[in-house]
Amino acid sequence: MNWLQHSTGGLLTLSAVGIAVLLLLIIRFKVEPFIALLVAGLLVALGAGLPVEAIVGSAQKSSASLLETGFGGILGHVAVIVGLGTLLGSLLEVSGGAEVLTGRLLQAFGDKRAPLAMGLSGLIFGIPVFFDIGVFVLAPLVYVAARRGGRSVLLYALPLLAGLSITHAFLPPHPGPVAIAGLLHVDLGWLIIMGLACGIPAWFVGGILFSTWIGRRIDLPVPEEMLAAAQKVAEESGARDRKAPGLGLVATIIGIPLVLILCGTFGSIVLPKGSLVQDVTTFLGTPAIALTIAVLLALWLLGRRRGMTGEQLAQLSAGALRPVAMILLVVGAGGFFGAVLSATGVGKALASTLSAAGLPVIVLVYVISSGLRLAQGSATVAIVTTGGIIAPLLPDLHYSQPHLALVAMSIAAGSIIASHVNDGGFWIVSRYFGIPVRETLASWTLLETVLSLVGFGMAALLSIVV
């Protein structure tokens, strides 16, 4: 196997074979992505001739193996942030914060601008909650707004979905953005800045302009079986108005971690080194600390002060964190796959090939991420796999933090392109909003493509000036 370790062509071929095995396991044999990434990483490591001790370790040697460093390195960065973010989202969901936010926006914008209100709801509420949870919680409010407006359900659903999709792909504390920040060593403050710079234009073009255009051309009623459920939710929301949290409180709890992280990022740049003020902003702006503060406030203000007992909050926390396990395993296995690619020298081989071809990194990562997304459907798998492939070549390029964040945004943009039948999100959208498969392809799939292209376009444009 020595030729693999000394041949650029051999290393790139090995990398391609590893990705092909990964896709084959996921698509053809329906293997869980966590297991598929682990198997693909082990096969690439063995195929490259790496020592067994370096891959899995041994009892005689105390040095960490690739399996340990790959998993542990990325999970040490991701696990706390994703766990805290998930708990924060669950507290906002259970407290009725989503209904408060959406209801106030609908009142403020009126029936004519209700689609914009739904889009803003998805964009704001999507920050602390996963995409599918956002759909489950807010879908009944879409039914109410669509029935009241008397227009196609797509006019109200697509803006909401655009907001949820953008935050899921571009902003922490969602697993994909946090994972890519860890893999590329990007400060989360810069990731938030570039995520907003790339995501908000994509949301406006896709979620408002495109959604309005396609919603007027595909007229779909609210599903009959959902009307009764929507009415029940509306009645329940009205019944608990006096206990519902205020809009300002909901916005504050969502905004606190973002503001603290941004203050920490800019404080490290503009404040005097080693000063007390810089130490305080750095401490409070550490993502884990910022999210811990937000969660503690939410536990008190949205939980205990609204009558929830300690036992109820403990049960809520356990239930919220249970689904996170598989996500973290996928991210950890992706970190291992990336560590293997780095150890085999694929990164340097890819760097030399790129240098010869003159292909910009920001374009390359978008193509890779898009290809992985189209092939296997999962945005998170597309992100962590692309990050593992590209991470080894970035140190030699000496990119600044803002530029690294834009590379991450390009990967994120590619990970949401053209959601179709191999993506679980496709079926959630189709079933929850009663959209036939053909119309889902013509609306949701195109919406995701527009979000992807505009997000990538913004990242590429900003990379020229950063």
- Rounded percentage of the chain residues whose pLDDT exceeds 70: 92
Tens of pLDDT, residue by residue over 18-51, are 889 999 998 889 899 999 999 999 998 998 888 8
The angle formed by the CA atoms of residues 145, 147 and 150, to the nearest 5 degrees, is 105
Tens of pLDDT, residue by residue over 81-113, are 999 999 999 999 888 888 888 888 988 998 889
Rounded to whole angstroms, how far apart are CA atoms 308 and 95? 10
Residue with tokens 């292909």: 359
Tens of pLDDT, residue by residue over 399-408, are 999 999 999 9
Tokens, residue 236: 């329940």
pLDDT tier, 441 (very low <50, low <70, confident <90, very high otherwise): very high
pLDDT tier, 451 (very low <50, low <70, confident <90, very high otherwise): very high
Higher-confidence residue of 191 and 59: namely 191
Which conformational region is residue 185 in: left (phi greater than 0), alpha (psi within -120 to 50 degrees), or beta? left
Residue 1 confidence (pLDDT) above 70:
no
SS3 of 29-67: the string is CCCCHHHHHHHHHHHHHHHCCCCHHHHHCCCCCCCCCHH
Sign of the four-CA dihedral 188, 323, 128, 365: positive
pLDDT of amino acid 6: 54
Residue 335 confidence (pLDDT) above 70:
yes
pLDDT of amino acid 131: 93
pLDDT of amino acid 229: 55
Rounded to whole angstroms, how far apart are CA atoms 71 and 442? 39
Residue 58 confidence (pLDDT) above 80:
no
Tokens, residue 445: 């799939």
DSSP at 286: S
Cβ neighbourhood burial of 261 (10 Å; 0-12, 13-18, 19+)? buried
Tokens, residue 99: 């209904």
- Mean pLDDT computed over 153-173: 96
Rounded to whole angstroms, how far apart are CA atoms 142 and 102? 9
The angle formed by the CA atoms of residues 252, 258 and 259, to the nearest 5 degrees, is 75
Tens of pLDDT, residue by residue over 106-130, are 889 988 899 999 999 999 999 999 9
- Mean pLDDT computed over 38-67: 84
- Rounded percentage of the chain residues whose pLDDT exceeds 90: 57
Residue with tokens 């444009």: 461
- Mean pLDDT computed over 263-277: 91
pLDDT tier, 59 (very low <50, low <70, confident <90, very high otherwise): low
Cα of first residue to Cα of last residue in the chain, in angstroms, is: 42
Q: Domains in the chain: how many in total? A: 1
Compute how many other C-beta atoms are within 10 angstroms of the C-beta atom of residue 53.
12
Asked whether residue 69 is domain-assigned, the answer is no
* Contacts of 192-196 spanning 24+ positions with Cβ under 8 A: 192/258, 192/261, 192/262, 193/262, 193/265, 193/402, 193/405, 194/402, 194/405, 194/406, 194/408, 194/409, 194/459, 194/462, 195/170, 195/171, 195/405, 195/409, 195/412, 196/170, 196/171
Residue 4 confidence (pLDDT) above 70:
no
Which of 297-301, 335-339, 341-345 is modeled with the greatest confidence? Answer: 297-301
Residue from 397, 341, 363, 243 nearest 40 by CA: 341
Asked whether residue 106 is domain-assigned, the answer is yes
pLDDT of amino acid 306: 86
pLDDT of amino acid 118: 95
- Mean pLDDT computed over 369-396: 90
Residue with tokens 């090995």: 14
pLDDT tier, 61 (very low <50, low <70, confident <90, very high otherwise): low
pLDDT tier, 428 (very low <50, low <70, confident <90, very high otherwise): very high
Asked whether residue 60 is domain-assigned, the answer is no
pLDDT tier, 214 (very low <50, low <70, confident <90, very high otherwise): very high
pLDDT tier, 238 (very low <50, low <70, confident <90, very high otherwise): very low
Residue from 257, 195, 173, 178 nearest 405 by CA: 195
pTM: 0.90
pLDDT tier, 354 (very low <50, low <70, confident <90, very high otherwise): low
Residue 177 confidence (pLDDT) above 50:
yes
Residue 262 confidence (pLDDT) above 90:
yes
Count helices and strands (H / E) in the chain: 25, 0
Rounded to whole angstroms, how far apart are CA atoms 196 and 265? 15
pLDDT tier, 286 (very low <50, low <70, confident <90, very high otherwise): very high
Higher-confidence residue of 45 and 352: namely 45
Residue 198 confidence (pLDDT) above 60:
yes
Q: Which structural domain, as residue segments, surrounds residue 244?
A: 9-52+75-465
Asked whether residue 258 is domain-assigned, the answer is yes
- Mean pLDDT computed over 298-309: 91
Contact of 419 with 426, CB cutoff 8 Å: yes
Asked whether residue 443 is domain-assigned, the answer is yes
Sign of the four-CA dihedral 245, 251, 252, 253: positive
Rounded to whole angstroms, how far apart are CA atoms 452 and 371? 13
Asked whether residue 64 is domain-assigned, the answer is no
Q: Which one-letter amino acid corresponds to residue 203? A: W
pLDDT of amino acid 241: 45
Rounded to whole angstroms, how far apart are CA atoms 450 and 417? 8
DSSP at 394: S
- Mean pLDDT computed over 436-447: 95
Tokens, residue 45: 């490591």
| 3-class state of residue 171 by DSSP | coil
Sign of the four-CA dihedral 391, 393, 396, 401: negative
Residue 389 confidence (pLDDT) above 70:
yes
Asked whether residue 175 is domain-assigned, the answer is yes
Residue 185 confidence (pLDDT) above 50:
yes
Residue 240 confidence (pLDDT) above 60:
no
- Choose the weakest-confidence range: 11-20, 30-39, 167-176, 264-273: 11-20
pLDDT of amino acid 141: 85
